[in-house]
């Protein structure tokens, strides 16, 4: 039992002039508190506090948007992949990301907001997505750095989310994490091959790692003392580790892996402080993070323009799917009348 959790779960409060919570809400809150305290799962039809629903809708839909926008930097390289094998691997990876977006939109919808509403929030620029996808993928080696560092950071972030208290989200993450491991491996392997290639190839790999290192560390979000919502998410068993804890795990992992690659991380300060029991890394530029998240990154405009264009181009598919669904419903209705 995690009694501490209960203390930070908001209790129904009665403001002046407001009606007292209904008996159903009181019972619902008690059930919710018990499920969270027992580290069990909340399912779509269960009672849940409005703030829990809102937080999850935002988190899961932003996660879905990130998967969909995240297809772009790599999709741009499918036609330029250096061999048939690399093309097939990259294509499979980009398709996986589309699948991740779809599982996550499905999970988000179970919280009550329809998918087209969530999608419109992205198209209108009202919803955010991961800042990392607003950086350009300049060379083939970037496919390696993105797989190794970006998918690697995603795994560090997402493995604990497999135990998220909201059932549909946690279950979606299980499959996603399996596929992310493949993504990280393929990225690592691209870098390894380049690192063992010509001096120019090795330099290209190093340059890609240099550019993606800091943005990948920023994927875990702002430092803990500047992350006001984290505490509540941890109390609700959505998040299991703080931003800084996850960043620590990740940096410790890549500090070892980079040696196998024969490359270096662009962080001369990086070392493990035995006394403090933590990795010390260079200061990250949080102003840059805020700028990129709020639309001022190098590729924000391009990513959104491409997404809107793809949505437009898909209009006929949505119309055809709707017409087919109506036809099937009419057919079923006619059959029911016939059978009656
Ligand atoms: Fe993904
Ligand atoms: Fe991935």
User: pLDDT of 173-219, one tens digit each?
Assistant: 999 999 999 999 999 999 999 999 999 999 999 999 999 999 999 99
Q: Is the pLDDT of residue 337 over 70?
A: yes
Under the banding of pLDDT at 50, 70 and 90, the label for residue 338 is confident
Under the banding of pLDDT at 50, 70 and 90, the label for residue 248 is very high
**69 Cα to the center of ligand 1, angstroms:** 10
Q: Which of 20, 56, 84 is nearest to 237 (CA)?
A: 56
pLDDT at 326: 97
pLDDT at 17: 57
**20 Cα to the center of ligand 2, angstroms:** 47
Residues with Cβ–ion distance below 5 A, ligand 1: 67, 97, 100
Residues with Cβ–ion distance below 5 A, ligand 2: 151, 180, 183
Under the banding of pLDDT at 50, 70 and 90, the label for residue 4 is very low
Q: What is the mean pLDDT of residues 80-93?
A: 96
pLDDT at 145: 98
Ligand of minimum distance to the alpha carbon of 146 = 2
**93 Cα to the center of ligand 1, angstroms:** 8
Ligand of minimum distance to the alpha carbon of 74 = 2
**211 Cα to the center of ligand 1, angstroms:** 21
Q: Is the pLDDT of residue 68 over 80?
A: yes
**30 Cα to the center of ligand 2, angstroms:** 38
pLDDT at 10: 43
E strands, 229-287, in order: 271-273, 278-280
Q: 22: burial class by Cβ within 10 Å (0-12, 13-18, 19+)? A: exposed
Ligand of minimum distance to the alpha carbon of 101 = 1
Q: What is the mean pLDDT of residues 161-175?
A: 96
**328 Cα to the center of ligand 2, angstroms:** 36
Q: Is the pLDDT of residue 164 over 80?
A: yes
**173 Cα to the center of ligand 2, angstroms:** 12
Q: What is the mean pLDDT of residues 83-89?
A: 96
Least confident of 2-6, 149-153, 209-213, 309-313: 2-6
Q: Is the pLDDT of residue 226 over 70?
A: yes
**153 Cα to the center of ligand 1, angstroms:** 11
Q: Is the pLDDT of residue 15 over 60?
A: no
Ligand of minimum distance to the alpha carbon of 158 = 1
**154 Cα to the center of ligand 2, angstroms:** 7
pLDDT at 18: 66
**329 Cα to the center of ligand 1, angstroms:** 34
Ligand of minimum distance to the alpha carbon of 186 = 2
**101 Cα to the center of ligand 1, angstroms:** 7
**176 Cα to the center of ligand 1, angstroms:** 6
pLDDT at 12: 45
Q: Which residue has the higher pLDDT, 20 or 268?
A: 268
30: three-class secondary structure by DSSP = helix
**40 Cα to the center of ligand 2, angstroms:** 28
Instruction: Count other C-beta atoms under 10 Å from residue 183's C-beta.
Output: 25
pLDDT at 3: 37
Residues with Cβ within 8 Å of 319's Cβ and at least 6 positions away in sequence, in order, are none
For tokens 């990513």, what's the residue?
303
Ligand of minimum distance to the alpha carbon of 181 = 2
Q: CA torsion, points 27, 33, 38, 43, in degrees to nearest 10?
A: 70
**332 Cα to the center of ligand 1, angstroms:** 38
Residue 175 and residue 272 in contact, taking contact as beta carbons nearer than 8 Å: no
Q: Which residue has the higher pLDDT, 263 or 231?
A: 263
Q: Which of 186, 183, 192 is nearest to 155 (CA)?
A: 183
**269 Cα to the center of ligand 1, angstroms:** 31
For tokens 């010509």, what's the residue?
198
pLDDT at 9: 40
Least confident of 115-119, 159-163, 169-173, 293-297: 293-297
Least confident of 19-23, 136-140, 219-223: 19-23
Residue 172 and residue 106 in contact, taking contact as beta carbons nearer than 8 Å: yes
Under the banding of pLDDT at 50, 70 and 90, the label for residue 86 is very high
């Amino acid at each position: 039992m995690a009694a501490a959790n209960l203390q930070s779960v908001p209790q129904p409060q009665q403001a002046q002039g407001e009606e007292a919570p209904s008996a159903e809400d009181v019972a619902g809150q008690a059930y919710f508190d018990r499920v969270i305290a027992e580290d069990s799962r909340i399912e779509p039809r269960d009672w849940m506090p409005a703030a829990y629903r809102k937080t999850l809708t935002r988190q899961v839909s932003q996660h879905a948007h990130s998967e969909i926008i995240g297809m772009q930097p790599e999709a741009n390289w499918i036609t330029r992949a250096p061999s048939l094998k690399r093309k097939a691997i990259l294509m499979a990876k980009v398709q996986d990301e589309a699948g991740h977006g779809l599982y996550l939109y499905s999970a988000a919808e179970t919280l009550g907001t329809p998918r087209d509403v969530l999608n419109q929030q992205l198209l209108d620029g009202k919803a955010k997505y991961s800042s990392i996808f607003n950086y350009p993928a300049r060379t083939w080696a970037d496919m390696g750095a993105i797989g190794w560092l970006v998918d690697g950071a995603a795994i560090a972030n997402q493995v604990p989310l497999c135990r998220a208290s909201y059932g549909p989200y946690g279950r979606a993450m299980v499959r996603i994490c399996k596929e992310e491991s493949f993504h990280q491996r393929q990225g690592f392997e691209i870098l390894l091959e380049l690192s063992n290639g010509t001096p120019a190839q090795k330099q290209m790999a190093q340059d890609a790692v240099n550019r993606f290192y800091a943005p990948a560390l920023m994927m875990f979000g702002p430092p803990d003392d500047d992350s006001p919502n984290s505490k509540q998410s941890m109390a609700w068993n959505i998040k299991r580790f703080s931003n800084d804890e996850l960043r620590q795990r990740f940096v410790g992992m890549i500090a070892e892996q980079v040696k196998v690659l024969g490359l270096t991380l662009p962080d001369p300060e990086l070392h493990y402080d035995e006394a403090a029991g933590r990795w010390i890394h260079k200061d990250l530029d949080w102003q840059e993070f805020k700028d990129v998240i709020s639309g001022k990154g190098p590729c924000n405009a391009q990513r959104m323009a491409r997404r809107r264009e793809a949505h437009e181009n898909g209009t006929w598919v949505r119309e055809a799917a709707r017409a087919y669904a109506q036809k099937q419903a009419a057919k079923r209705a006619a059959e029911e009348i016939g059978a009656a």
